[in-house]
Amino acid sequence: MTSPYARELYVAELAVQRATLLTKAVFHEKAKGTLSKDDKSPVTVADFGAQALIIAAIRKNFPDDEIVGEEEASTLRENDDLRSQIWNLVKGVRLDDAGAEEVLGGPVEDEGQLLEAIDAGNGVGGARGRIWALDPVDGTKGFLRGGQYAVCLALIVDGNVQVGVLGCPNLPVDDSAPLSVDSGMTGQTDGEGRGVLFSAVSGQGAASRPLGRGALGHPHKSIAMRTLSEADISAATFCESFEAGHSSHSDTAAIAARLTISRPSVRMDSQAKYGSIARAAGDVFLRLPVRGRAYVEKIWDHAAGDLIVREAGGVVSDVTGKPLDFGLGRTLKGNTGVVAAPRGVHAKVLEAVRAVLAENEGGK
């Protein structure tokens, strides 16, 4: 009997793997075709190209599903040179295995299909139906500086994440390799021994396999978070966003001090943090509100990672303890911040988070 969502997982893994062929090619270029969006965040030719490739594969296999993607193609319709640059990247991307490529519908046919695929990510999201959440290059700033990034895809059904896939080209394949303070710094590589594909299906656990160039040739390897109790929480490794504008570094330091954690936090971009703690390379991921910055998280920035951590034995909540709600549209407007940790210590970490944030409120 076929496992629930087996087809969706297979297509999602192949689609993400194919998209990383493009992102890795752009990663090694000095000029990455960078633009600034309306919110001042950067976007590259890799973001547009990867979104087109993944959405084309979803539409081929699940034509009735809604897609919520980060990018849209209006700029490309107005900029012939940029559109041509992206098309030249996308048209040459295909998996080495013909059968796997056929599953995804083959190459994108022309510039018209390119633009249509990108704009098909304009779904509104919500609590009903099948909705794919896509971030084609999560951690664009890390991508630009030569750090960590991820290609992220999740299937949300009636508001609940059912399938999650993360392609992390610059993380080690070895699940036992611990994070270090250098893991998110400039100078990362997708060379030998690098590139991992994380995945999870609700109720079926989390897994990893090496990223490849063709069929999914390596079997899934189950992954699990490190088992920690409140008594040994001082041995935990924290992960946080590389950018101080994305998460309060000073609050993370204060929370670590409360928990008697002396190891320095590992700062890296993207949902690679979720994958890293899911396989016990790190332990706790905090994304904390930045004072003076009103920001609502997007569903594509968390959906896949949230499921992978929970299926690996962790708990994911916001800073108030509520689960992340992916049924409210394109954003997590019902949540503030993220606290992800092993089940045995999540409550303790959350207690410290609340205490530090309360002190900040009292000190205004």
140 is a catalytic site residue: yes
- Burial class of residue 69 in the structure, from the number of CB atoms within 10 Å of its CB (0-12 exposed, 13-18 middle, 19+ buried): buried
What are the Cα distances from residue 16, in Å, to 141, 152, 169, 198? 20, 7, 11, 10
Helix (H) or strand (E) segment spanning residue 17: helix 6-27
Q: What are phi and psi of 306, to 5 degrees?
A: -55, -50
Return the SS3 of 254: helix
- Residue of 45, 41, 53, 43 whose CA lies nearest to 25: 45
- DSSP conformational letter for 232: G
Residue among 20, 23, 44, 140 flagged as catalytic: 140
- Which residues are bridge partners to 198 per DSSP? 166, 208
- What's the CA angle centered on 274, arms 122 and 349, to 5 degrees? 120
Question: In the annotation, is 47 catalytic?
Answer: yes
Q: Which of the residues 23, 44, 47, 237 is marked catalytic? A: 47
Please give the Cα distance from 222 to 212 (Å, whole number).
Answer: 18
- Residue 138's Cβ-count burial label (10 Å; 0-12, 13-18, 19+) is buried
CA distance linking residue 197 with residue 175, whole number of Å: 11
Amino acid at 166: L
The CA distance from 114 to 51, in Å, is 9
Best CA proximity match to 181, nearest among 225, 240, 253:
240
Which positions are catalytic? 47, 140
